[in-house]
Amino acid sequence: MNSSPEVPARQSHVRSWSIHGREEITARYEILNTIGSGAYSDVYRARRLSDDLPVALKEIHDYQSALREIEALQLLRHVPNVVHLIEYFWQEDEDAVLVLEFLASDLASIISSGKKREGGLQVGEIKRWMMQVLQGLDACHQNGIVHRDLKPLNLLVSADGALKLADFGQSRILQDTRYTPGEKSTTYTFSDEWMALKNSQWPEAAGNQDYRAVSEDGIKDKDPIDENVSSKDGETSCVATCCTTDVDDDIFKGQEIYGSYESKEIDDSGELTSCVGTRWFRAPELLYGSTSYGHEIDLWSLGCIFAELLNPEPLFPGTSDIDQLSKIINTLGDVTEATWPGCSKLPDYGKISFKPIENPHGLETHLPNRTTMEVNIIKKLICYNPIDRVSAKQLLQDMYFTEDPLPVPLAELNVPIKTNDHRDGEEDSVGDWFGESDSDEGFAKMDFSENEKGYSIKFS
Ligand SMILES: Nc1ncnc2c1ncn2[C@@H]1O[C@H](COP(=O)(O)OP(=O)(O)OP(=O)(O)O)[C@@H](O)[C@H]1O
């Protein structure tokens, strides 16, 4: 795979010259055009010179994102519904460049093309898309990987209808899985190249070939890598960015952290960050600042994605993080100990409160003309208490997928050519916390007061 197994030392500002000037890459690939730019990367379409294989070259400008993405894709390299990492280039003073299989479309394009089709996406098509997402996500969770940025744009699709989870730059490998003992998991081991790379970076893991592999009872061993790469996540919670004491004199100051949370310096706190995932797909525990969440945050995102497949509009298109919570609460009802046991222990619970909702809309209103069975699937994922969310594995066994109309074969799926007309509203930006609301209810009045947790904001 990589000619040099050495991971370059972590540097605060790794900048590389243009990918076009990197001979180790251009000797093997012809770079054709740019196909996308994300928060931390530029992606190019290219072809392998030896056999004309179409590939995507993903140049990642952030050290930690690169490490996370390579690590997750190595671990999931045999999973059919995860994008395949062919090889990667990474040398000191250079950005990592990942060579990925080329995938011509994504689920966002499929949803928007279905919207334009008379009758929309057919039930059999929806079921096949859902099953592929579930199979990819189940493999992640079986391996203790939480993706943390699931959304239709990160579900890439090949021209022949194979859907693959992509963009693992925010993923994390949890120190244990919550799969119940006895649940059989597939064991994956690292390639020799990756082990050499890992051992050079983390000598304490040397010689422990499958230290992260899932054990017989489904529980993972302690993960030294995770501790080494964890960021100061606890300081970057979405609400904490405007609630810490240094914000007292300027409540907007802390929001600068929001846009740069992934570039925080590492420490060994082992906590996760609550500022992950694109807002529309972000679970409520993250919006309330949780730093000890599990793979259930992906299951919430999954519910949002499935709801969008069933009714081609985003389920909760919040214009700010507060608006995001408001939209969720207007649908599911008040967040209380009765509706979500343990919610009052969330770091930011009590720092923000909303006017009580007497008649929540309910998820049904977002899914007009859908069957009870379909609405029930969404309800199993979009629920406040993370432990109530059904796992990808369990959902794959749901009768929905074995009842008529059956999932269509891949060959019958309609895969549109990808265009660049995707929604912009999903993107996070500095200052979004107090962005304007477009929710029906709006925020007529904001009361700001100090309390034992720092301060509280009350909307009425
Ligand atoms: N294997 C691939 N084949 C084709 N296109 C790809 C591939 N990987 C990524 N892309 C495209 O490149 C763009 C950016 O990729 P990606 O989402 O992985 O990067 P990112 O920097 O992590 O983005 P984000 O800001 O959304 O997190 C996306 O539009 C995606 O569709």
Between 213 and 442, whose confidence is greater? 442
* Cα 261 to Cα 26: distance, rounded to the nearest angstrom: 33
Residue 240 has pLDDT above 50, yes or no: no
* 167, 168, 276, 429: residue to mutate for ligand 1 pocket, most atoms within 8 A of CB: 167
pLDDT score for 238 = 40
What's domain 105-202+224-425+445-459's superfamily in CATH? Transferase(Phosphotransferase) domain 1 (1.10.510.10)
Quick: pLDDT tens for 269-309.
Answer: 556 777 767 899 999 999 999 998 999 999 999 999 999 99
Confidence of residue 91 (pLDDT cuts 50, 70, 90): confident
Alpha carbon of 181 to ligand 1 centroid (Å): 36
Minimum mean pLDDT among 143-157, 248-262, 325-339: which range? 248-262
Question: How large is the average pLDDT for residues 405-418?
Answer: 92
What pLDDT score does 231 carry?
Answer: 28
Ligand 1: residue of 32, 41, 262 to mutate (most ligand atoms within 8 A of CB) is 41
Residue 421 has pLDDT above 90, yes or no: no
- Positions marked catalytic: 149
Q: Which residues line ligand 1 (CB under 6 A)?
A: 35-36, 38-41, 43, 56, 58, 83, 100-103, 106, 149, 154, 156, 166-167, 169
* Ligand 1 atom nearest residue 40's Cα: 21
Q: Determine what percent of the chain is predicted with pLDDT higher than 90.
A: 59
* Highest mean pLDDT: which range of 92-101, 171-180, 277-286, 383-392: 383-392
Chain mean pLDDT for the chain? 76
Q: Is the pLDDT of residue 441 over 80?
A: no
Return the residue whose CA atom lies nearest to atom 28 of ligand 1: 36
Query: Rounded distance, CA 114 to CA 157, Å?
Result: 15
Residue nearest to atom 7 of ligand 1 (CA): 56
Amino acid at 206: A
Burial degree of 260 (CB within 10 A; 0-12, 13-18, 19+): exposed
Residue whose CA is closest, atom 5 of ligand 1? 103
Percentage of residues in the chain with pLDDT exceeding 70?
65
**Residue whose CA is at the smallest distance from ligand 1 atom 15:** 38
> Which is more confidently placed, 272 or 329?
329
Question: How many whole angstroms from 90 Cα to the centroid of ligand 1?
Answer: 19
Taking the CA of residue 154 as reference, the ligand 1 atom at the shortest distance is: 17
pLDDT score, position 66: 96
**Residue 94 corresponds to which tokens in the numbers above?**
């250079």
Which residue positions form the known binding site?
58
pLDDT for residue 92: 81
Strand order in the sheet with 454-459: 352-353, 454-459, 446-451
The mean per-residue pLDDT over the stretch 333-351 comes to: 95
pTM of the predicted structure, to 2 decimals: 0.75
Question: Ligand 1 test: best mutation among 58, 99, 428, most atoms within 8 Å of CB?
Answer: 58
What sign has the CA pseudo-torsion 229, 233, 235, 241?
positive
168/58 Cα distance (integer angstroms): 12
Residue 188 pLDDT exceeds 80: no
- Structure confidence at residue 5 as a pLDDT band (50, 70, 90): very low
Annotated binding site for ATP: 58
Q: Among 195-199, 229-233, 349-353, 436-440, which stretch is predicted with the lowest mean pLDDT?
A: 229-233
Give the residue, 401 or 456, on which the prediction is more confident: 401
16/41: higher pLDDT: 41
Residue 43 banded pLDDT, cuts 50, 70, 90: very high
Asked whether the predicted pLDDT for residue 424 surpasses 70, the reply is no
CA of 39 to the centre of ligand 1 (A): 9
Tokens encoding 437 = 């609301």
Residues in contact with 239: Cβ distance below 8 Å, sequence separation at least 6, in sequence order: 287, 288, 289, 321, 347, 348, 351, 352
**What pLDDT is recorded for position 85?**
98
- Looking at this predicted complex, what is its ipTM? 0.96
For atom 19 of ligand 1, which residue has the closest CA? 38
Instruction: Work out the average pLDDT over 44-63.
Output: 97
The amino acid present at 205, given as its one-letter code, is: A
Instruction: Give the pLDDT mean for 375-383.
Output: 98
- Binned at pLDDT 50, 70 and 90, residue 74 comes out as very high
- pLDDT at site 270: 55
Gap from CA of 35 to ligand 1 centroid (Å): 8
Atom of ligand 1 nearest to the CA of 65: 22
Residue 14 has pLDDT above 70, yes or no: no
Lowest mean pLDDT among 80-94, 237-251, 436-450: 237-251
pLDDT tens by residue, 396-410: 999 999 999 999 999
Domain ranges of the chain: 105-202+224-425+445-459
Instruction: Report residue 170's pLDDT band, with 50, 70 and 90 as the boundaries.
Output: very high
Q: Average the pLDDT over 32-51 and give the result.
A: 94
Whole-number pLDDT of residue 174: 83
